[in-house]
Every structure is written in structure tokens, then in C-alpha cells.
Structure 1
Amino acid sequence: MTDVSIECVQGDIANQPDIDAIVNAANARLMPGSGVAGAIHSAAGPGLAEECRKLAPIEPGQAVISGAHDLPNRHVIHCLGPVYGEDEPSDQLLADCYRNALSLADAEGLESIAFPAISTGVFGYPLEEATRVAVSVIREAGPGLAHVQRVRLVAFSEKDLEAFRSALGQ
């Protein structure tokens, strides 16, 4: 059991060199796409897509782990968030993304993990609701984690940062 600290920063999820694993807001095929998946695959190089072919497809709420390739991290954890209004129950599926990613990181003995705002881009999840789900799950899961000590929430925009800060009560 560890005391998990939660921090939030504005930045690029693909540029978190002091973090053991970053989380990819992936598509079901785990291939490069737009947004977070595009940025991570671009920074990781073609080896990431090659490794991901063997791990796909995944279902909403599921998480799988790969190497980080050309990224400065040890691993990438890929989560398929729900498409808001289509994949139901969306709040439980989104919570499963965070819970399953934390569990994978902990099982690998990782001490730090960075999350983007999963499902809030093209998947249409309302930002404030999504950040509340994320923070709630991280706080709930924290006491049960043996290795993970630090969770970073990486906001792409100032609006995302404000939503994370609000969910954290800052």
C-alpha cells in the first residue's frame, strides 16, 4: 500500500520523461490516429504500432501495456475509452480505463503513470464529468496500489487543466 500523490500539469503526454508509463487514449485497433494516439505513436516511432498489432483489438474500458519504443518512458498503457452516448454505461467504462491502467502499472512494479483526459476528444465525453471520474477512480484505487506512488494528469489545454484542477478541488 502506497500513498499516491496526484499532480496535474499542462503539456504533451508524449513528453513526460520523468514518468514510468504514459497512457494512450487509444482506438480499438491501437493504431496511430488523431489526438493523443497520434502524438504518442509519432513520438514513439513505428515500433509501437508494430507491437500493438499483436495486442489489438481491445474493448471499451480495457487496457493493455506495451514497450515505449522511442519515448523516454518504460511503457505505454493503451486504454480504449468509451464513445460518449454510444458505449454504455459510459461512466463505468471510463472508470475501468483508469482502474485497469493503474492495475497494469502496479503489476509491472511501476512507480509513476501519466494520464491524458481519456475520451474527451473525438469520443465526445464531457470534460468536467470525465475529469471527475478520473480523479475519483485514482483516489479510490490509490490505497490498494503496492508500487504506484505518483499519478500525473496531463492536460492538453488550459481548459483541460482547469477541469482537472476543479476535479482535484484545487
Structure 2
Amino acid sequence: LSHGSGVAGAISRAGGPNIQRDSNEYIDKEGKVPTGQCVLMDAHNLQPIRFVVHTVGPSVRGSVTPQDERHLSSAVSSSLYAAAEEGAASIAIPCISTGIFGFPVDKACSLIVGACTKFAASPPPGNTLRSIVLIDISTDRVQTLKQCLGRAGGAPPPSLPTAARGGLSSTHSGPVIKAAGLLAVRLCGGRVQVLLSVEHRSDSFKGKWSSGESLHVLGGQTDYRDGGDSRKTAAREFWEETGKLVKEQDVQSAIREADSLYLDYAKYQLYVVSAPPEAHTLPKLFQQRHGASVSVECSSLAWVGLDALVAALNGGKGKGKGKAQQVKADVGLKRHKSFPLSEFLSKILRDKAAMALVDQVAKTCSESGGGDPALETVLRTQI
């Protein structure tokens, strides 16, 4: 239980010093954890993760022995059973023993996948696990895990998605989803407006690269914490990029699967939700709480007219067809600035199906005289 490097080290650093402290206290009281066994401990700063399963894999010296194989399989299966007994809904498992413990990656991945598929095929009574996510800090190891899943049955079963932390890749029975986002829509003076983030990053428009602030959809890459659920990804990204002004779980409850679209060209699940009138203060509230803080991903939030975005995409009136124009946006505190469109936002604006979905949700907002009731409740408690 010495978490110095690899995935164990990454977990310990992210969870804070209490992760290693708890491990040291356990060793002092109970002794070492046997190879192939595990122990559950508090996740500390890794919230909303409930707990960390610390398991001990075999350390290989020379050739892999049958005992090494049994120990690795046991390390995985004991972790699965321990998580299920604790009432967990999902668990993320890395390539155990493939770092400084020297277990060959191909063989280890095969054993890990085998233990997971065996558990999924015959779970214990009262099992609560619904998602087993295979992860690693190495892209190559993730690819090997995917290959092993393919050999195990041609394609991973729905209960066994695989993903790389940070959204490197994802494999499951449905379409591959690498990222997800949320587009909040409202009506203002009869005009459809969408909530966008202002971020400073390198981007391109029509093949020309530029660096600076531009308008982006609130969204991002999938993460092992989401357990393969793109709704969770969209809600988490909205929560993070709006400076945690609203609760992540409340945002997720406001998202409807019916108001979503899969963008195959980006492996992206786009959710559209109608926002209540109170949401017009989000840019102002963001500036008041965060301003130019480095603790949030974007520098500003802005409500932008859909017609202005489309006009900018088409070059603007009399500006020359195909030349991208900047869009003026209200970023709060009576500040108006002009920004170019990000390449991904431009693709969404060109997507007829995406625009039809935005129009559909905007009409619902107009007919109901407000926005999404769930999101409205969330915002009223925050604004």
C-alpha cells in the first residue's frame, strides 16, 4: 500500500495525503494486504467517488508463473466483489501489476478482462454493479484492453464499457462516445439564444489556425468517473465550466435523452435543454464569483443569439461569403466583447439535425412560457 508511482500514485496525488495516511495506518494495525486481495478505504478528495479499492497484484520476477496469474485474477475479482458488497454502482479498474511490478501487458489485460467477464456473467446475489470501466494512464494499455475485450466475445458486453481517463477512447455496444456537452437554450425578445463559454485555446476555422479567446459549447471529453454515461459527462462538464454555480446532479436530472443528438463526426453526444428566464444572470454571476480565476476552465459565459452565430458562420451581411466574422456577446457586468466561433461550434451550426433539435427545444420553451422545470428549480436556488 505504498502509492508512489503509476495509477496508484496518480490516485494518491489526486485524493490528497490522507490516501497514503490511511494506508499506512492500516498496515500498522492489520499488517500487509496479501497478494491477490484488497481493502476498501475512503476516497477523500476524489469525491464524488465514494471509496478506493486498494488491491495488491503480483510482482513478476522472470517468467510469469501460474501462481502469478491466479493472484492477478484474484486481485480483480476480489475488488469487484468488495465493490458490489459495498453497494457500488460502478468501478474503474486499471492494468494492475503492469508498471513497476513487471507483469507483461498482453497477458495481464487478458486476465483482467477474463475476471471482469466472469463476474458479469455470474454476479453475486444482490449485485449492485452496473458498470465496470477499464482504464489506464497509458494509451497503449487501453488499446490492449480493447483488443482483449474483442477477443473475449467479438465486442464488449453493454455492462463492460472501457475508457481511458480523459476520454482517450471508449468501446461499448452502441456508438463510440468520446465527449458530450450541453447546450442551454432560451428565448429573449423573441430571439433564440444559447449559452456558450469563452475560452482561450488554439483553434481553427476553415483550415486557418489561430490562438485566442473564442466561443465554445459547454462540454468535454468522457472520464472514467462517468461510468460510460454521456449524461453524466455533459452534466459534469457544465458544472465545471460554469464554475460550479449549479449542482452537478441537479443538472443531470434536467437532461432528457429525448433532447439529444449523436454527432458521429466528433463521437460527441449533444444534449439541448431549455433554460428558465432566471438563467440570463449566469454570465453576470460567473463574473462576480470567478472573474479571471484560474480555477475554472473558461474566462466568461455568454448568451449569444443563434441568428448572430449563423450570420457570423456565413460571413455576415456584406462581409464576403465564407469569411468568418466575430460575434458580440454579453459576458456579464455590462461587458460586451466580440469573439470568433470555435471550429466545433461552427460544425454544430452547420449541422441541420442539431439546429432542428435546438429549434424544437426553443419552441417548447416558448410554449411553456419558461424553461425546463428541473433546471429552473436549480437556478432559482443559486441566483
Distance between the aligned counterparts of 2:92 and 2:139, measured in 1?
17
Distance between the aligned counterparts of 1:66 and 1:104, measured in 2?
11
Match of 1:166 in 2: 147
Q: What is the one-letter code of the residue matched to 2:33?
A: I
Match of 1:80 in 2: 56
Instruction: With the length of structure 1 as denominator, give the TM-score of the two structures.
Output: 0.78
Corresponding residue SS for 1:140? helix
- Deviating beyond 4 angstroms after TM superposition, the runs of 4 or more aligned structure 1 residues are none
Corresponding residue SS for 1:84? coil
User: Equivalences for 1:2-151 in 2 at 5 Å?
Assistant: 30-56=1-27, 57-72=32-47, 73-85=49-61, 89-142=67-120, 143-145=122-124, 146-151=127-132
CA deviations on 1:130-167 (whole Å, 9 max, x unpaired) are 01101111111122141111000012222111110111
Contact between 2:7 and 2:137, CA under 8 Å: does it hold in 1? no
Corresponding residue SS for 2:46? coil
Count how many residue pairs are aligned between Structure 1 and Structure 2: 141
Distance between the aligned counterparts of 1:119 and 1:59, measured in 2?
14
Corresponding residue SS for 2:110? helix
Q: What is the one-letter code of the residue matched to 2:75?
A: C
Q: Could you tell me which runs of 5 or more consecutive residues in structure 1 were left unpaired when the two chains were aligned.
A: 1-29
Further displaced range: 159-168 or 141-150: 141-150
Contact between 2:113 and 2:148, CA under 8 Å: does it hold in 1? yes
Q: Share of identical aligned residues, percent? A: 32
Corresponding residue SS for 1:64? strand
Shift of 1:55: 2.4
Corresponding residue SS for 1:144? coil
Shift of 1:116: 0.7
Distance between the aligned counterparts of 2:113 and 2:3, measured in 1?
27
Q: Could you tell me which runs of 5 or more consecutive residues in structure 2 were left unpaired when the two chains were aligned.
A: 156-383
Corresponding residue SS for 1:39? helix
Larger gyration radius, structure 1 or structure 2: 2
Corresponding residue SS for 2:92? strand
Corresponding residue SS for 2:26? coil
Corresponding residue SS for 2:147? helix
Distance between the aligned counterparts of 2:24 and 2:39, measured in 1?
12
Distance between the aligned counterparts of 1:51 and 1:85, measured in 2?
29
Distance between the aligned counterparts of 1:111 and 1:74, measured in 2?
10
Shift of 1:49: 1.6
Q: What is the one-letter code of the residue matched to 2:93?
A: F
Contact between 1:55 and 1:64, CA under 8 Å: does it hold in 2? no
Shift of 1:53: 2.0
Distance between the aligned counterparts of 2:3 and 2:105, measured in 1?
23
Q: What is the one-letter code of the residue matched to 1:62?
A: Q
Distance between the aligned counterparts of 2:102 and 2:3, measured in 1?
19
Q: What is the one-letter code of the residue matched to 1:85?
A: R
Distance between the aligned counterparts of 2:99 and 2:2, measured in 1?
16
Instruction: With the length of structure 2 as denominator, give the TM-score of the two structures.
Output: 0.36
CA deviations on 1:87-122 (whole Å, 9 max, x unpaired) are 851000000000100011000000100011000011
Q: CA RMSD in A?
A: 1.5
- Would you say 1:155 and 2:136 are equivalent positions? yes
